[in-house]
Structure 1
Amino acid sequence: MALIATALLAGCGSGGDKAQKGDAKRGGGGPPQVGYVVVQPTSAALVTELAARVTAFESSDVRPQVTGIIRRRFFTEGAVVRRGQPLYEIDPRLYRAAANQASANVASAQAQAEAARILADRYRPLAQIEAISKQDYTNAVAQARQANAAVAQTRAALETARINLRFTTVPAPITGRIGRSLFTVGALVSATQTDPLAQIQRLDPIFVDIQQSAADLLSLRRSLASGGVVPATARVRLKLEDGSDYGQTGSVEFAETIVNQETGTVTLRARFPNPQGLLLPGMFVRASFAQAIDTSAYLVPQQAVSRDPKGNATVMVVGADNKVRQQTVTAERTQGRYWVVTNGLKTGDKVVTQGLNAQLRPGTAVRPVPATAPQQVAPPKQGEQPQGQGKAGGTGNGGGAR
C-alpha cells in the first residue's frame, strides 16, 4: 500500500509539471503580431462631383430674310444637314422681277451717262475757242458726273435685288442635326417674324455646363495660393441620369468670370466627344473631375481607418515603444482603395493595417511587422499542439495592405 501511494503521488507530480509546462508554452506567445505600413506624403487629386447640364456645341435658328410664301422644303426632319445646303424655297417671282427691273435701270443709266460724257467732250474744244460760254461746258461736265453717279446707284439697287432673290432659297447656316419644321409649305413667312423656320444643333462635339459654388471655387483658389496644392489638367467624367457612366472623357474649356446672382454659382464649360449622339441638349448629368492636386496628402488603406462614436476618422499607429495609440485624422474622401488623409499623420508613421481586432486597444504592446511580410509557419514540436500563428492580421477585420 505504501508503494502504491508513493507511485500515485509521483504520477500526480509529474502530470502537474507537464501541465505547467504546457500552460507556459501556450501562454508564452508574447504580444500580438500586427502588420503596418509606413506612410509617406504623396499626390492626391482633389476630385469634385457637381451637377451639370448638356448644351449643344453650336445652335442656330433657320430664319427667312425676305417675305413670301414657302413653295418647297428640301430636308427631312431630324436629319443631318450641311452648311449651305438649301432647306426652303420662298416664292421667287416677285424678287426675280425686281432684279430684272434693276438690271434695266442700270442699262438706262449707262446710256444716259454715255450721252452726257460725249456732250462734255464736244463742249471742251468749243469752250477753249470761246464758241460757247464756259458755263455751258461746266454744266455739261456736271451732267456727265451725275449720270455716272446714277449708274452706280442703279448697280447697287441691282445687287440688292439679286441678294433678295438669293434669299428666296433659305440655306443651312451651320452643319448639324435639324429639328422639326415649324412652318409648312404654303405658309407666309417674313423677315421680321419672331419664330424660326427650324433649328439646327451641332451635337458632336458637345458642351457640358457644370455649376460650381462660388464659395468652393474661392476656397480652391486660396488653397492654390497658399501652396501644397497645384492645379490639375481637368479631365471630366460623366454619370448619366440612369446612373451609368458615360464612356468618353472630356476637358474643361473655360470658367465664366461672373457669378450667377440667383444661384451663387459659377459655370464651368467642358467639351466632350459625342459620336453616338448619346448626349442630348438639356440633359442633366453628374460631372466629376480633379480641379487640383494635393501634394502633401497621405494615402492610407481603407481597412486601417475606422470611425469613433462621434464620426471622426481614427487609425492605430505603432509608437517607438511598440505600443499602439489611436490617432484622429482628417479623411474626407477616398481614392481607389485608399483614404486620402490630409491631417493627423506625419511622415514615417507606422499605421496598423492588419491585426485590427477587438483586443487591440490603445496602449497595447504589439509585435509589428511590415504588412507585406510573408506568413511564418513552423512545424509543431513533438508533444505540442499546433498553434495558428499565420500572417499578421489573420484575425483582423480587414484585408492586407498592398
Structure 2
Amino acid sequence: MTLNTAKLTLAATIVGISCGVAIAQDAPPPTPVTVVTLQAEDTTLTTTLPGRVVASAVAEVRPQVNGIIQERLFDEGADVEFGDPLYKIDDATYEAELAQAEASVAQAQANLDATTKEAERFATLLDRNVTSAQSYDDAIAARDAASAGLQLAQAQLQTARINLDRTTIRAQLTGSLGRSLTTQGALVTAGQAEPLATIRQLDPVYVDVTQSAADIIRWRRGHTDQELGDADRTVELILADGAPYEQTGQLTAAEPHVDELTGVVVLRLEFDNPDRLLLPGMYVQVEMPQGVVENVILAPQEGITRDRRGQPTALVVNDENVVEQRMLTVLRDSGNHWIVTEGLEDGDRLIVAGFQKIAVGATVAPQERGAETTDASAAQN
C-alpha cells in the first residue's frame, strides 16, 4: 500500500466515524406517552331505568263538617305531626247541637228513672195480686223503651261531640305541608272535592321505574340471583343534573301488571331522603344490577378508538416499549370505562395520551398516568 492510499483510507475512516456520530446525535429520543396498567377483575353489570319520585304517603286535608274557615293554624311549607291543628271552622252551631244533645240525654235519663220505678212498683203490686200481669208487662215495656231512648240520646250526644271536635281540622299524617288552598272566611263542606292542603311524607320516598317484561321474567325465575351471586345488589340513583344521589335504595315491590301498549312493568324502589333532596314528581334515573361478568378488563374510554369498520382498537406498550395495536371485543360501557372481554390482558399498558404522535412499531417512553403530576411536584420542590 502506497503512502497516498493509506492517507486516503485513513481519511475515509475518519469521515465515516464522524458521520456515525452525527447520525447518532441527530436521532430523536423515544416519544413520551401516558399509559394505564390494566387489571382483570369481576364487575357487576347494571342497567339504567327512568323513574319518578313519589311521596311514601300523601294525605289531602278535607273538612268533615260544614262551616266557615275562621283561622289557619299552620305555616305553609312547615312540617306537621299527626294530630296537629291545621284549620279552625266556626263552631257556634255545633256547640248548640252539643248542648241540645246533652239535654236530650238528661231527659232520656229522667224518663228511664221514672219508668224503672214504675216497673218496680208494678212488680210489687203484682206480687200482692193487686194489679194485672198486663199492667206489669206494659210497665216493663215502657222501661225498656226509655232505656233505648237513653241509648239513642247518648249516641246523638257522641255525634255532636265528634262534629264539634271536627271543627278543628287536624293533620292525619306526619309530613310536610304545601301551600294552603283555602283562605280565612271561605265556606267549606264535608267531603268536598277540593282539598284544603296536602301533606306529603318525604322521608323515605319511593321511586317508580319501568322495566321490560323480559327482564321481569328473569327476576321471577331467579336467573338474576344466579348471575348476581354475592355481588352488591344496592340500587343507585342519578339525579336530573347527572350527579349521583348519596343514598342507595332497595327494590320493594313490582306491579303485577304489564302495560299492553309499552310492554313494561312498574317497579317501586325505596330511598332514604333525610335532606329532602328528592321531591315528588322529580325525574331520576336508576342504576339496577343485572348480572356479574368475570375476569374482564375495565379500559378507560379515552384509550379506545375505532377503525374504519367500527371495530374497537387500542394501542398498548409491550415489554420492549414498542407500540402494538390490539383488536378488541367490547361488551358495553361502565361509567367512563369500556368492559373489554377480549384483546386486552391483565398487566397490559394501555396508551391513554400522546398516541397522536406515534405509530404501531414505534419505540416510546411510557409513563403511568398520575406519575407525571408527582414528578412535576417533586421537580418544583
Q: Give the TM bin, normalised by the shorter chain.
A: 0.7 to 0.9
Cα distance in 2 for residues equivalent to 1:161 and 1:247: 51
Relative distance call for 1:102 and 1:304 in structure 2 (3 A) is same
Cα distance per residue 1:40-65 (max 9 Å; x no partner): 4x331223333222222322111010
| 2:378 match | none
Cα distance in 2 for residues equivalent to 1:222 and 1:5: 95
Structure with bigger helix share is 2
8 Å Cα contact 2:38/2:349 also seen in 1 = no
Cα distance per residue 1:200-229 (max 9 Å; x no partner): 223343333333333444466678359443
Cα distance per residue 1:238-290 (max 9 Å; x no partner): 222xx2525532312423233334443333333344444443322223x2424
Relative distance call for 1:100 and 1:300 in structure 2 (3 A) is closer
Matched, 1:148 2:143: no
Cα distance in 2 for residues equivalent to 1:307 and 1:293: 27
Q: Tell me the amino acid that sits aligned with residue 7 of structure 1.
A: K
8 Å Cα contact 1:69/1:188 also seen in 2 = yes
Q: Tell me the amino acid that sits aligned with residue 138 of structure 1.
A: D
Cα distance per residue 1:134-161 (max 9 Å; x no partner): 2222222222222211111110111011
- Post-superposition shift, 1:13? 6.3
| 1:353 match | 350
Q: Tell me the amino acid that sits aligned with residue 134 of structure 2.
A: Q
Cα distance in 2 for residues equivalent to 1:194 and 1:96: 26
| 1:136 match | 135
TM-score, length basis structure 2? 0.76
Deviates more, 1:89-98 or 1:255-264: 255-264
| 1:224 match | 223
8 Å Cα contact 1:116/1:140 also seen in 2 = yes
Cα distance in 2 for residues equivalent to 1:183 and 1:156: 33
| 2:246 match | 248
The Cα RMSD (Å) is 4.0
Cα distance in 1 for residues equivalent to 2:279 and 2:38: 48
SS of the residue aligned with 2:339?
A: strand
8 Å Cα contact 2:44/2:228 also seen in 1 = no
| 1:82 match | 81
8 Å Cα contact 2:210/2:265 also seen in 1 = yes
Cα distance in 1 for residues equivalent to 2:198 and 2:252: 26
| 2:108 match | 109
Residue number among 294, 297, 322 corresponding to 1:299 in the alignment: 297
Cα distance in 2 for residues equivalent to 1:278 and 1:188: 36
8 Å Cα contact 2:330/2:338 also seen in 1 = no
Relative distance call for 1:165 and 1:75 in structure 2 (3 A) is same
Q: Tell me the amino acid that sits aligned with residue 149 of structure 1.
A: A
- Post-superposition shift, 1:316? 7.7
TM-score, length basis structure 1? 0.72
Q: Tell me the amino acid that sits aligned with residue 248 of structure 1.
A: E
Deviates more, 1:299-308 or 1:170-179: 299-308
Cα distance in 1 for residues equivalent to 2:266 and 2:87: 37
| 1:8 match | 8
8 Å Cα contact 1:39/1:349 also seen in 2 = yes
Cα distance per residue 1:151-176 (max 9 Å; x no partner): 11110111011101111111122233
Q: Superposed, which structure 2 residues align to 1:3-402 within 5 Å?
A: 3-9=3-9, 12=12, 40=40, 42-218=41-217, 224=223, 227-230=226-229, 232-240=232-240, 243=241, 245=243, 248-257=246-255, 258-285=257-284, 287-302=285-300, 305-314=304-313, 326-335=326-335, 338-341=337-340, 343-344=341-342, 351=348, 353=350, 358-360=359-361, 393=366
8 Å Cα contact 1:239/1:245 also seen in 2 = yes
Q: Tell me the amino acid that sits aligned with residue 72 of structure 1.
A: E
8 Å Cα contact 2:297/2:346 also seen in 1 = no
Relative distance call for 1:181 and 1:212 in structure 2 (3 A) is same
| 1:373 match | none
Q: Structure 1, unaligned stretches of length 5 or more?
A: 24-34, 362-388
Cα distance in 1 for residues equivalent to 2:173 and 2:350: 60
Aligned length, in residue pairs: 353
8 Å Cα contact 1:203/1:274 also seen in 2 = yes
Cα distance per residue 1:307-362 (max 9 Å; x no partner): 3333333468999xxxx7855413311356x4323x4479x77756369853249x
Q: Tell me the amino acid that sits aligned with residue 111 of structure 1.
A: A
Q: Tell me the amino acid that sits aligned with residue 136 of structure 1.
A: S
Q: Structure 2, unaligned stretches of length 5 or more?
A: 24-34, 319-323, 372-381
Relative distance call for 1:206 and 1:38 in structure 2 (3 A) is closer
